[in-house]
Amino acid sequence: MIKDKVVIITGASSGIGEATAKLIAAKGAKVVLGARREDKLKEIADAITAAGGQAAYRAVDVTKQDDNDAIVKLAKEKFGRVDAIFLNAGLMPASSVSALKTGEWDQMVDVNIKGVLNGVAAVMPTFTAQKSGHVIATSSVAGLKAYPGNGVYCGTKWFVRSFMEVLRMESANEGTNIRTATIYPAAINTELLDTISDGATSEAYRKLYQTYGISPERIADVVAFALDMPEDTTVNEFTVGPANQPW
C-alpha cells in the first residue's frame, strides 16, 4: 500500500519526478523531494501540502554523497522512517562520440551512474537494518537498446539496469527484503531535452518528442503501481512509452 509510505524522490523538481511526487502524495505517501533547484521543490511541496498531502524537500546534488545522506536524514527527522527511494535524477546531453563533448560525458557518468550509487549508499544501511525497503530507478529504453548519437547516455542507463538487477538478486540472497523496480521510459515530455547542447541533435530529438512524446504522469502511474505491491512481491522492470513509438 502506498498510503503512509515515506518515499524519497531525486530529480523531483520537474518532469517524471514532479509528476510522481504529486501522484503518490495524493495517494497518501509522505514524499521527500530532492534536486538542485530548491525554488521548484518548494513550489511542488507547497502544491502538495495545499492539496492535503505531506511533503518535505531539500536541495540535493546527487553527485555529492553528503547531499544524499542528508535527504535520508531529513526523511527520518520529518516522517520517522524511509520506505522507498526513487532514484530518478538524470540528464541526457546527447551527441555523437566524434563530437568529443567529454565534459558532458563526465556529467552523465556523475549524475546518471554515480548519483544512483550515492543514493543507494545513503539508504542501504537503513533498509538493511529494517529488513525492508524499495529502490526504484529510472533507466531508459536507452538502457535496453543502443542508439547512434547517444552512446554515453545509453551506457549510463545500461549500468542502471545491470546494477539494479544485481541489487535485487543480492538482497534476495541476503534476506534483506530490499525490493527493486527499474523503469525504462521511451519518449516522455519533460525538460530532459533542454540538456542537449548539440544543435542538430537537439532539433532531431525535439521533432521526435513532438511526434511521439507522452505525459510524465504515465511514468508516475507505474511508480505508484510498484509502490503499491505487497512486501512479498517485486515487479522488477517496466518498459513504458508512447503506443505509437515503434522503438
Q: Which residues carry out catalysis?
A: 153
Closer of 130 and 161 to ligand NDP (Cβ): 161
Binding residues for ligand NDP restricted to 148-177, rule: CB under 6 A: none
Question: Minimal distance in Å, beta carbon 101 to ligand NDP?
Answer: 16
CB atoms within 10 A of CB 124: 18
Binding residues for ligand NDP restricted to 180-209, rule: CB under 6 A: 185, 187-188, 190-192
State the binding string over 31-60 for ligand NDP (x if CB under 6 A, else -).
----xxx--x-------------------x
The residue range among 10-18, 77-85, 123-131, 226-234 that interacts with ligand NDP, by the rule CB under 6 A, is: 10-18
Signed CA dihedral, 147, 159, 2, 32: sign only: negative
Tell me the angle at which helices 115-130 and 151-174 cross, rounded to the nearest 10 degrees.
10
Amino acid at 228: D
Using alpha carbons only, give the angle 216, 195, 135 rounded to the nearest 5 degrees: 50
Of 90, 93, 119, 133, the one binding ligand NDP by CB under 6 A? 90
Tell me the angle at which helices 38-50 and 15-26 cross, rounded to the nearest 10 degrees.
20
Give the helix ranges, DSSP H, for 59-150: 65-79, 102-108, 115-130
Residues near ligand NDP (CB under 6 A) are: 10-17, 35-37, 40, 60-63, 88-92, 111, 138, 140, 185, 187-188, 190-192, 216
